[in-house]
């Protein structure tokens, strides 16, 4: 059984739809984990599949001010959500006999026990100005997170 973990947002959900359709076409049992608008959209697209609600990544994007400072301030909350997501996925692996994980930008949806793949466009984050000072630290952290997949 495949578990597809999709991040919040219609963009993440829509780019995962062809992959899920291919899995279903190949008669592979699929469970979809998501939240918010993405979960709603995927339930409409795949009404016969099993769904689980994953912890919401409640990222707030600023209308004004420093984008980077805003994101740094949200890191503790994001890390907590990723830990919760990871714990839930470990339980789902046992409960649902999941054999593979496909994660669309959900960094907590992986397992050391089964093959786990991530779909992402964030292999390296580019910085400018004063933020270049932290680029190495942030990109090293990102690389470690991606190495789990």
List the domain range (segments joined by +) for residue 23: 2-146
Distance CA 37, CA 64 (A): 25
pTM of the complete model beyond 0.85: no
Show the tokens assigned to 1.
């059984």
Number of domains in the chain: 1
Structure confidence at residue 8 (pLDDT): 67
Express each pLDDT in 119-145 by its tens digit. 988 887 777 777 777 788 888 888 999
CATH number of the domain residue 54 falls in? 3.40.50.2000
Phi, psi angle pair for 59, to nearest 5°: -80, 130
pLDDT tens track for 11-67: 778 889 999 999 999 999 999 999 998 999 999 999 999 999 999 888 878 788 887
Which of 70, 52, 57 shows the shortest CA–CA distance to 107? 57
């Amino acid at each position: 059984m495949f578990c597809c973990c999709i991040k919040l947002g219609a963009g993440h959900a829509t780019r995962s739809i062809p992959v899920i359709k291919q899995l279903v076409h190949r008669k592979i049992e699929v469970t979809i984990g998501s939240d918010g608008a993405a979960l709603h959209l995927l339930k409409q697209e795949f009404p016969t599949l099993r769904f689980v609600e994953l912890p919401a990544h409640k990222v707030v994007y600023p209308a004004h001010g420093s984008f980077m400072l805003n994101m740094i301030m949200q890191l503790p909350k994001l890390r907590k959500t990723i830990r919760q997501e990871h714990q839930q996925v470990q339980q789902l692996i046992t409960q649902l006999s999941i054999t593979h994980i496909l994660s669309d930008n959900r960094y907590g949806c992986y397992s050391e026990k089964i093959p786990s793949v991530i779909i992402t466009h964030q292999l390296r984050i580019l910085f400018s100005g004063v933020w270049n000072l932290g680029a190495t630290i942030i990109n090293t952290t990102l690389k470690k997170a991606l190495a789990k997949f």
